[in-house]
Amino acid sequence: MAGFTTMQVIITGGAGFLGQRLAKALLNSSIAFDELLLVDQVMPSRPGQDERVTCQEADLSTAGTAQQLITARTGLIFHLAAIVSSQAEKEFDLGWAVNLDVTRQLLEACRHQHPGIRFVFASSLAVYGGTLPAVVDDTTAVTPRSSYGTQKAMGELLVNDYSRKNFVDGRVLRLPTVCVRPGRPNQAASSFVSSIIREPLRGEPAICPVSPDLALWLSSPDTIIRNILKAATLPGSDFGGWRTINLPGVSVTVQQMLDSLERIAGKEARDRVRFNPDPAIDAIVSSWPGVIDNSRALQFGFGIDGQFDQFITQFIADNHKTA
C-alpha cells in the first residue's frame, strides 16, 4: 500500500468499534502523520501508548465545533460518526442533525480552513432500497427506504460536490454490514447480524428478527479496516468524476450463517438462536441489496473476504486475544 504524508489525521466516531480498530491500524500503516485525533461524543479510549494519539470528547453537532477541530495541519479525515439506522428512524431530528448536518459542517470547515483535505466518508448499502435489480452495482440508482439511508445518500452527494469544487479530496465508501462485531447489540437495524453469531458463541441466547432466507451483504472487520485504509491512500484522480464506491462484500443468507455457526461451534450453539419476526427491522434490512457487483472495487485493489466460516474464526481468534 503506497503511503503519503500528512500532519494530522482525524477520526470522527473515534470511540466506536470501527474508529478504535481503524486507529490501531493507522498507527501501524504506511501513512505518515504527527497526530491522530480521535473525536467522539464520549471520550475515546487511547489505543496503546503511542504519543501521536490525542483523544477529544466533543459534540460535532454543536455550532463551531468542526471549525475548531480542523486546521491547516489537518490532512486526512475519516468521517465515521453517525446515528445508526433504527435510531435514525426513531429519532428523526437527531438523525438529520448528525448524519447530514455534521457532514456538511465538516466539509465547510475543510473548505474554509484547509481546502483539499482527503475526506473519507463512511456511507452504507442502506442508500439502496425498494425494487432493485438482481445484482446492484455502483451505477444503480439510490432509492433508500429509511431516514438513515436517505441521510447517507445526501452525504454522498455532498462529498462528491465538494470534491468536484476541489474543496476536499473526497472518497465515499459504501460499507457492507460488518460481521462479527464484538460488544453488545446497538440500535442498528442490522445489529442481529452479529448477535446471532456472537451471543451463541458466548453461551447466550440470541433473537433473529428476519427470515432465514434473507440474503445479507457482509464484510469482516479486518477486511473493512484494510479497505478503508486503502481508500485513503488512493489518488483522488483514480476515482474519476464519481467518488463513490461499493466496498467488496460477500452474499450470505441467515440460514448459511447459522449453518456455519453449527459447523464451527456445534448444534448447541446453533440452537441458542430463536426466530422472532420484527416487521420494523425486517422492513429496513430486507430493503437492502443482498448481492452487489464487486468488479469495480476489485479493480481498485480492495480486498474481499472468503467463506463465512472465516468470519466466525476471525471473531473467535480476536476474542481470544482480548480475553
User: The cell 504519543 sits on which residue?
Assistant: 51
Q: Give CA–CA dist 223/314, Å, rounded.
A: 11
Q: Are 316 and 198 in contact (CB under 8 A)?
A: no
User: The cell 448477535 sits on which residue?
Assistant: 195
Q: Give CA–CA dist 162/147, Å, rounded.
A: 23
Residue of 78, 121, 128, 148 with catalytic role: 148
User: The cell 486507529 sits on which residue?
Assistant: 23
In the sheet that holds 117-124, the strands lie side by side as 53-57, 35-40, 8-12, 74-79, 117-124, 168-175, 244-246
Q: Which residues contact 269 (CB under 8 A, 6 or more apart)?
A: 200, 201, 261, 262
Whether residue 148 lies in the annotated active site: yes
Q: What is the pLDDT along the chain (323 residues), one digit of tens a residue?
A: 456 778 999 999 999 999 999 999 999 999 999 999 999 999 999 998 899 999 999 999 999 999 999 999 999 999 999 998 889 999 999 999 999 999 999 999 999 999 999 999 999 999 999 889 999 999 999 999 999 999 999 999 999 999 999 999 999 999 999 999 998 777 788 999 999 999 999 999 999 999 999 999 999 999 999 999 999 999 999 999 999 999 999 999 999 999 999 999 999 999 999 999 999 999 989 989 999 999 999 999 999 999 999 999 999 998 766 54
Query: What is this structure's pTM?
Result: 0.94
Element (H, E) at 162: helix 147-164
Q: Are 282 and 210 in contact (CB under 8 A)?
A: yes
Specify the 3-state DSSP secondary structure of 281: helix
The three-state DSSP-derived secondary structure of 288-319 is CCCCECCHHHHHHCCCCCCCHHHHHHHHHHHH
